[in-house]
């Protein structure tokens, strides 16, 4: 028997199950795979031998489509890093023993840079032991779009589409009153501002979109911020601001930490606020106009009801690519997208050494941020545009999107 | 000339422009209306004579459809209450003079209970002066669903659909980790819990949905809440809680006010947190597990990309009904829906005296909340179900929903 095991890891996205659907589709149609197993909760599910027989749970093309439109990791996730190979080989031995027991020849791990570290280490262990019949391959995933070596990441396009649409809707909402008001919208991204940059796409149909955009790649200056907001308020009533959760001062201190460190409520526990809330309080104090903050929170990564067709299609293709790599006997690679052109958008699917990806981060290039550090450039928009294109025909039941639940 | 003036007021919704589209469609097709004018920023736009010629701005059925899918009041809004008729007649005289100047015979005001107060007073003033050629009619609007006299309110169904879909997606997201974690989701509603109740619809397709639901109609007991959460945590890892922003203690004090009154940050300004944030801190202190809070914020009222087909269709019908009432010479009425049956859902459109609506609120009946005060009953679900049904084919451009911008 040659069985395939697939697992998911890291923060969930609206497209990670599309990649899973791609892996399954490739395995089913390859004629080379017997059992198709899913480990529950990532590598932890491997150790626990907590496997789902996917041939039982996903029985038709229609169910594959349902899986692809289901947000968040259908196999569950984990945040677990394997130890360094030099320090502890026991974990790796254990994994290989479990693979042998379940006759697993192919292991596909869908995740971000931490997950690619797992692929890297496990492949290296197998190589060091001369194991030549187990193939470990990664498939990318992250809404943060911060993986090296791939033009962009599955899940990012859908999150970016949600963000662009939502900013355009929030802008409509804020536009209705003729009083001065500031709305600060905090977008996910501790170290990379890609998602926050996507707010600029709210302007694509001629609407104003965010008045100011602050990414975490540039140092955030609170005085400059207040000046920027004041200047915009002189020109317009409703000022919508997009801000990365991870904005930092020039000393590298998170704005959220910097301002709120002394805050306690009357129970004595400290308030943990995001950057948006901190800036809301700052505007209230320094400018005194009506102000609110909004966190897009989990919704930006789990909004399966508004995904990018480009993203979902590519996520499936990357899952298929990863599976095919394993079947072709590759090891220590991650499926990746290479962009051929922006407009018309053309892309190719390939695989790259996982070493190029693991434990690294791809940030927004500084030349794609304007000089004032409060907006993005046309180059960034040209990069983003194709990624949010197209809509999926989401299947609804009883008025809400239907999901495929695996466990 | 017999001209029609329409305006929008109060908090925006994803369906208020569908009602505007209904008013316009009826006016265009009636053969009885010359100019169709829109006042910008509600009754304030009437005083300012800030009118848009809608025959110029909305020229085709396709543009009416675009208008109907555009969230938030396309004519702008205001929060402005006319003075009591007994105290000050000057405002009313001014309005009538402006109507005479612009040959306005029909005035349709789309809004909530405050807006119906305007319809009521203005109609009463005209009646008191023997004016028999100006007809003032209301069309309902509010995501809160708290208007008397109508089975439900335009805008509510779409917000409820967004909330049900979003809870089901958040539940998927929270389900991926196998650690104990509480997620508290705060839903709009200061005095009526209808929107929070809609979170229960996330269970319709067999998924767990929220584990606990607290509406503002019942007294909120923080100790009981912690007990409820502890009990759920014993049974499951991910506990998602739905809570109305307006939950109050048995003494009527908002939970948000009660707990946070002493909170200040190190700049000395007090934190303004919602009920969700307060409960998040409470869970952290009393239980100590992983906990987060999410505010659905403006997104729940402006998510034009996921509206209920039932809601959008009915919103248009109510706009048409309101316009027809004015053309038929009615005054001081509001268009309303009467439900004939739940399943299959059947409804009729009618008009009711605006006096039944103005300055009153319809809350969730206490018998539709379970005894423990932490969930809703089947009766409430039967009421809610038809309101979120059906999906609209939203027109996209450049990857985001297209909007019709009137000013």
The tens digit of pLDDT for each residue in B150-177 reads 999 999 999 999 999 999 999 999 999 9
Closest CA–CA distance from residue B389 to any residue of chain A (Å):
4
pLDDT at A386: 98
| Residue A59 domain flag | yes
Instruction: Inform me whether the pLDDT recorded for A257 exceeds 80.
Output: no
Contact between A334 and A359 (Cβ < 8 Å): no
| Residue A382 domain flag | no
Instruction: Inform me whether the pLDDT recorded for A108 exceeds 50.
Output: yes
Task: Judge whether A144 counts as a catalytic residue.
Answer: yes
**Chain A partners within 8 Å of B302 (Cβ):** 169-170, 172-173
Both A21 and A115 in a single domain? yes
pLDDT at A58: 98
Number of neighbouring beta carbons within 10 Å of residue A320: 23
For chain B, how many structural domains are there in total?
2
What CATH number does residue A110 fall under?
3.40.50.450
DSSP codes of every residue in A244-280 = ETT-B-TTS-BHHHHHHTT-B-TTSPBP---HHHHHH
| Residue A194 domain flag | yes
Among A residues 153-192, those touching chain B with beta carbons less than 8 Å apart: 161, 164-166, 168-170, 172-178, 183
Interface test with A, best of B141, B172, B183, B404 (most A CBs within 10 A): B172
Whether residue B258 lies within 8 A of chain A, CB to CB, comes out as no
What CATH number does residue A181 fall under?
3.40.50.460
Contact between B279 and B254 (Cβ < 8 Å): no
Can you tell me the mean pLDDT for B241-250? Answer: 96
Both A63 and A181 in a single domain? no
Whether residue A381 lies within 8 A of chain B, CB to CB, comes out as no
Question: How far is it, in rounded angstroms, from Cα B112 to Cα A64?
Answer: 45
Both B151 and B161 in a single domain? no
Both A282 and A341 in a single domain? no
**Helix axes B309-327 and B156-175, enclosed angle (nearest 10):** 170
Q: What is the dihedral of CA A364, A370, A376, A381, to 10 degrees?
A: -90
| Residue B247 domain flag | yes
Closest CA–CA distance from residue A47 to any residue of chain B (Å):
14
pLDDT at A49: 98
pLDDT at B215: 98
Give the residue carrying structure tokens 């008009």: B351
Give the distance between the most distant pair of CA atoms in chain A: 71
Strand, helix or coil for residue A76: coil
Out of A278, A301, A324, a domain closes at A301
CA-to-CA dists, residue B57 to B21, B96, B312, B359, B407, angstroms: 12, 25, 21, 33, 9
| Residue B383 domain flag | no
Read off the pLDDT of residues B92-109 as tens digits, 9 standing for 90 and up: 999 999 999 999 999 999
Can you tell me the mean pLDDT for B211-239? Answer: 97
Closest CA–CA distance from residue B280 to any residue of chain A (Å):
10
- B-chain residue closest to A164, CA distance: B400
Can you tell me the mean pLDDT for A193-216? Answer: 97
Closest CA–CA distance from residue B227 to any residue of chain A (Å):
19
Whether residue B50 lies within 8 A of chain A, CB to CB, comes out as no
Can you tell me the mean pLDDT for A111-128? Answer: 95
Domain of residue A70, residue span: 3-155+304-359+392-401
Q: How many residues does chain A have?
A: 407
Both A180 and A309 in a single domain? no
Q: Calculate ∠ Cα B27-B29-B32, nearest 5°.
A: 60
Can you tell me the mean pLDDT for A296-315? Answer: 98
pLDDT grade for A256, boundaries at 50, 70 and 90? confident
The residue among B343, B303, B91, B363 whose CA lies nearest residue B204 is B343
Instruction: Inform me whether the pLDDT recorded for A3 exceeds 50.
Output: yes
DSSP codes of every residue in B230-296 = HHHHHH-SEEEEEEETT-B-TTS-BHHHHHHTT-B-TTSPBP---HHHHHHHHHHHHT-SEEEEEE-
Predicted structure pTM score:
0.97
pLDDT grade for B225, boundaries at 50, 70 and 90? very high
DSSP conformational letter for B191: S
| Residue A372 domain flag | no
Both A317 and A252 in a single domain? no
Q: Cα A209 to the chain's mean position, in Å?
A: 23
pLDDT at A262: 53
Out of B274, B302, B330, a domain closes at B302
Q: Which distant-in-sequence residues (6+ apart) come within 8 Å of B237 by Cβ?
A: B175, B177, B178, B179, B180, B181
Give me the residue from A77, A78, A204 closest to B398, CB to CB.
A204
**What is the SS3 string spanning A343-403?**
CCCEEEEEEEEHHHCCCCCCCCCHHHECCCCCCECHHHHHHHHHHHCCECCCCEECCEECC
Both B214 and B320 in a single domain? no
Both A26 and A101 in a single domain? yes
Q: Based on the number of CB atoms within 10 Å of its own CB, is A289 exposed (0-12), middle (13-18) or buried (19 or more)?
A: middle
Both B161 and B275 in a single domain? yes
pLDDT at B211: 98
Q: What is the dihedral of CA A295, A301, A306, A308, to 10 degrees?
A: 130
Both B181 and B83 in a single domain? no
Out of A253, A272, A301, a domain closes at A301
Cβ contact (<8 Å) for B165 and A385?
no
| Residue A376 domain flag | no
Interface confidence, given as ipTM, is 0.96
**Chain A partners within 8 Å of B385 (Cβ):** 398-399
| Residue B229 domain flag | yes
Closest CA–CA distance from residue B245 to any residue of chain A (Å):
15
Read off the pLDDT of residues A242-254 as tens digits, 9 standing for 90 and up: 999 999 999 999 9
Q: How large is the C-alpha radius of gyration of chain A?
A: 22
Instruction: Inform me whether the pLDDT recorded for A266 exceeds 50.
Output: no
Both B319 and B256 in a single domain? no
Q: How many residues does chain B have?
A: 407
Both B73 and B92 in a single domain? yes
pLDDT at B331: 97
Set B114, B117, B120, B144: catalytic member: B144
**Chain A partners within 8 Å of B185 (Cβ):** none
> Element (H or E) spanning B6, and its range?
strand B3-8
pLDDT at B266: 47
Give the residue carrying structure tokens 């069309």: B139
pLDDT at B272: 57
pLDDT grade for A346, boundaries at 50, 70 and 90? very high
**Chain B partners within 8 Å of A308 (Cβ):** 399
Mean pLDDT (chain A) is 95
Mean pLDDT (chain B) is 95
- Work out whether strand A346-353 and strand A333-341 pair parallel, antiparallel, or are unpaired: antiparallel
Interface test with B, best of A7, A69, A73, A173 (most B CBs within 10 A): A173
- Work out whether strand B333-341 and strand B346-353 pair parallel, antiparallel, or are unpaired: antiparallel
**Chain A partners within 8 Å of B284 (Cβ):** 269
């Amino acid at each position: 028997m040659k069985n395939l095991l697939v697992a998911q890891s890291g923060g969930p996205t609206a497209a990670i199950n599309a990649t899973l659907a791609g892996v399954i589709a490739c395995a089913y149609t390859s004629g080379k795979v017997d059992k198709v197993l899913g480990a529950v909760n990532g590598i932890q599910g491997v150790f626990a031998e907590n496997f789902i027989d996917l041939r039982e749970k996903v029985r038709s093309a229609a169910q594959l489509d349902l899986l692809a439109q289901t947000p968040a990791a259908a196999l569950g996730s984990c945040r677990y890093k394997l130890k360094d190979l030099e320090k502890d080989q026991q974990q790796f031995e254990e994994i290989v023993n479990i693979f042998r027991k379940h006759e697993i020849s192919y292991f596909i791990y869908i995740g971000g840079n931490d997950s690619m570290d797992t692929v890297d280490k496990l492949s290296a262990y197998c190589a060091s032991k001369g194991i030549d019949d187990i193939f470990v391959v990664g498939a990318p995933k992250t809404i943060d779009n911060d993986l090296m070596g791939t033009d962009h990441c599955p899940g990012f396009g859908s999150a970016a589409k949600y963000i662009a649409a939502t900013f355009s809707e929030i802008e409509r909402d804020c536009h209705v009153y003729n009083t001065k008001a500031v709305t600060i919208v905090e977008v996910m991204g501790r170290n990379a501002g890609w998602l926050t940059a996507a707010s600029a796409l709210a302007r694509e149909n001629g609407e104003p979109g965010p008045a100011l955009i602050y990414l975490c790649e540039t140092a955030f200056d609170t005085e400059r911020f207040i000046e920027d907001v004041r200047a915009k308020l002189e020109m317009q009533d409703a000022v919508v601001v997009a801000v990365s959760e991870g904005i930092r001062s020039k000393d590298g201190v998170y704005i959220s930490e910097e301002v709120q460190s002394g805050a306690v409520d009357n129970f004595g526990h400290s308030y943990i606020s995001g950057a948006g809330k901190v800036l809301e309080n700052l505007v209230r104090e320094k400018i005194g106009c009506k102000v609110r903050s909004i966190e897009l929170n989990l919704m930006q990564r789990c909004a399966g009801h508004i995904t990018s067709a480009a993203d979902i299609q590519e996520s499936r293709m990357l899952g298929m690519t990863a599976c095919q790599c394993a079947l072709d006997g590759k090891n220590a690679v991650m499926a990746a997208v290479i962009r051929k052109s922006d407009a018309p958008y053309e892309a190719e699917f390939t695989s790259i050494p996982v070493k190029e990806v693991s434990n690294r981060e791809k940030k927004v290039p500084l030349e794609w941020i304007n000089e004032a550090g409060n907006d993005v450039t046309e180059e960034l928009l040209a990069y983003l545009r194709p990624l949010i294109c197209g809509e999926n025909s989401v299947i609804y039941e009883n008025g809400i999107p239907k999901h495929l639940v695996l466990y």
